[in-house]
Copies of this chain bind each other. A is one copy, B any other.
Amino acid sequence: MPRATLHQRHDSLERALQLFWRKGFHATSLKDLERALDMRPGSIYATFGSKDRLFQEALERYARLALAELERTLNAHDSPLTGLAAYLRRLGGLCDQELPNRACMLVKSLLELGEREQAAWRKAEELLAGMEKRFIDRFSAAQQVGELDSRLDPSRLGRRLQAEVIGLRAFAQRDVDSAVVHDLAEDMALSLEALRIDAVSFSQ
């Protein structure tokens, strides 16, 4: 019955992801994981190898899901710039959803992990680079479609957007009203849309 086994593995990984995302790597103990996965230490180690490797698998799953959602939002809009703006506005609803954490798990890991957890740190860095690449691609596409000044640098715009997303989500982790986060996301989205080549330019 490999189906059931695989399903169980996915389910366990999802639970581990939720826990790691919420509490971070260091604050999540194996006792916590045993409880969340309803598995005894031996099974956890037989299935995932170590706490470190389980965390890395959780990171990969997180990034895969996050990238898929980004893709879904982008594909829902013909215009690349509109798609990216829609992604920002979607993040504006962070406080309304029930998530383990409003901040990006990759960023949490990037900031929390040190040299002792080098492998996991590199994984987070690599996955963030993948997100950045996706942003850059969209800005390049926007240029090819003619909605973005061809003299602008898609790489700089992509990294700027990633920094905005990181900032928005980390800011949302603060003790602030949901409306404030919505407004912040809206302001970011408007700035992005102001790049549209034929757009009427407003100050904000």
Q: Check A149 for interface membership: any CB of B closer than 8 A.
A: yes
Q: Check A110 for interface membership: any CB of B closer than 8 A.
A: yes
| Docked-complex contact B167 and A163, CB < 8 angstroms | yes
Give Cα A156 to B114, complex, Å. Answer: 34
Which residues on B sit within 8 Å (CB–CB) of A156? 183-184, 187, 204
| CB 8 Å contact bits of A171-204 with B (1 = contact, 0 = none) | 1011110001001100110010001000001011
| Docked-complex contact A201 and B204, CB < 8 angstroms | no
Stretch at the interface among A23-31, A34-42, A49-57, A77-85: A23-31
Q: Check A162 for interface membership: any CB of B closer than 8 A.
A: yes
Q: For A107, give its contact among B26, B111, B116, B163 (CB under 8 Å).
A: B111
Which residues on B sit within 8 Å (CB–CB) of A163? 164, 167-168, 170-171, 184, 188
Q: Check A152 for interface membership: any CB of B closer than 8 A.
A: yes
Q: For A203, give its contact among B110, B128, B149 (CB under 8 Å).
A: B149
Which residues on B sit within 8 Å (CB–CB) of A152? 203-204
| Docked-complex contact B167 and A111, CB < 8 angstroms | no
Residues of A within 8 A of B (CB): 22-24, 26-27, 101, 103, 107-108, 110-112, 114, 116, 125, 128-129, 149, 151-152, 156, 159-160, 162-168, 170-171, 173-176, 180, 183-184, 187-188, 191, 195, 201, 203-204
A-B contact pairs, 19 of them (CB 8 A): A22-B114, A24-B114, A26-B26, A111-B112, A125-B175, A152-B203, A152-B204, A156-B183, A156-B204, A160-B188, A163-B170, A163-B171, A164-B167, A165-B167, A166-B167, A167-B167, A167-B168, A170-B170, A191-B191
